[in-house]
Structure 1
Amino acid sequence: MAIAMDAEALARFLEEAFPQVAEDYVIEEVSEMALRVRLAVAERHLRPGGTVSGPAMFSLADVAVYLAVLAMVGPKALAVTTNCSIDFMRKPAAGQDLVAEARLLKLGRVLAVGDVMILPADGGAAVARATLTYSLPPER
């Protein structure tokens, strides 16, 4: 299956469709059925104690699978999360950028299922792991 949107096209789409969060994410790599995206950690992503919050890591996982789906099917803004399971495995270092490595396990006409590992940007053990399901809008 060919890639429908590269990193540059995905970044433009994110800026147009979701300008409120686009600056938080840097798409580092796009390949067939996989994507790597960085969360540029800022003060608003931190919880007391200075570590990246759970909601910020959830958002990173969600955005990673969303972008991986769009990379394969093209700009479908109405693809929506229908399920997410996330395991927080260890506390990220204070204020450090995180990367999500997403891979699509299934990409059907109606549903897509993806797996995400969230890692410290400078290396080290995974801090979270998530599995997400997306519903794709019907073709018209």
Structure 2
Amino acid sequence: MVAMGPAELNDFLAAAFPGADLPMRVTRADDDGVELTWPYHQSQLRPGGTLSGPTLMTLADTVAYVAVVSRIGPQFLTVTSSLQIDFLRKPPAADLRATGEVLKLGRRQAVISIRIHSTADDRLVAHSTCTYALPAEPSEPAEPSAPQT
């Protein structure tokens, strides 16, 4: 069952990463999983004119985070414990669309499958599996810590 919808998840991402100005947007959150879009920007390119691996890994990790939080509610301290990615083809300079499906949601961990497509031709460009460590259940949602000065 989904605990948070797309609008709530977008607000949560902005609160979780206040200085990041993430251009990604959650477009779907339901019992089948989540979907995010990431608009193309030339800063994502690598030599050869394709989107970079770090861009795809960032998107995969964010989709996994959103998929877990959509199920358990706003828990800032949910963290990545592993991320594996297969680059299947060179992604062209275009927007990306990624879907995430929670394969297992346990008491202390979650396993998520992520599929990343290029919107240029809707071809699958990467597949990722991510495991998240879940926080002990707090009495209220944990807030992100303030930056150290």
TM-score range, shorter chain: over 0.9
The residue number in structure 2 matching 1:130 is 128
CA distance in 1, matches of 2:26, 2:74: 15
CA distance in 1, matches of 2:81, 2:98: 19
Map 1:50-69 to 2 at 5 A: 50-69=49-68
TM norm structure 2: 0.87
Aligned residue among 101, 104, 107 for 2:102? 104
- Structure 1 runs not aligned, ≥5 long: none
- Over the residues paired in the alignment, what is the CA RMSD in angstroms? 1.3
CA distance in 2, matches of 1:20, 1:121: 27
TM norm structure 1: 0.92
Measure how far apart 1:122 and its partner are.
4.2
Measure how far apart 1:41 and its partner are.
1.9
CA distance in 2, matches of 1:106, 1:76: 17
1:20 is the counterpart of 2:13: no
- Structure 2 runs not aligned, ≥5 long: 139-149
1:71 is the counterpart of 2:55: no
CA distance in 2, matches of 1:89, 1:98: 14
User: Structure 1, residues 70-105: CA drift from partner, whole Å, max 9, x if none?
Assistant: 001011111111011100010011x20111111000
**Identical columns (%):** 38
Aligned length: 138
CA distance in 1, matches of 2:32, 2:131: 14
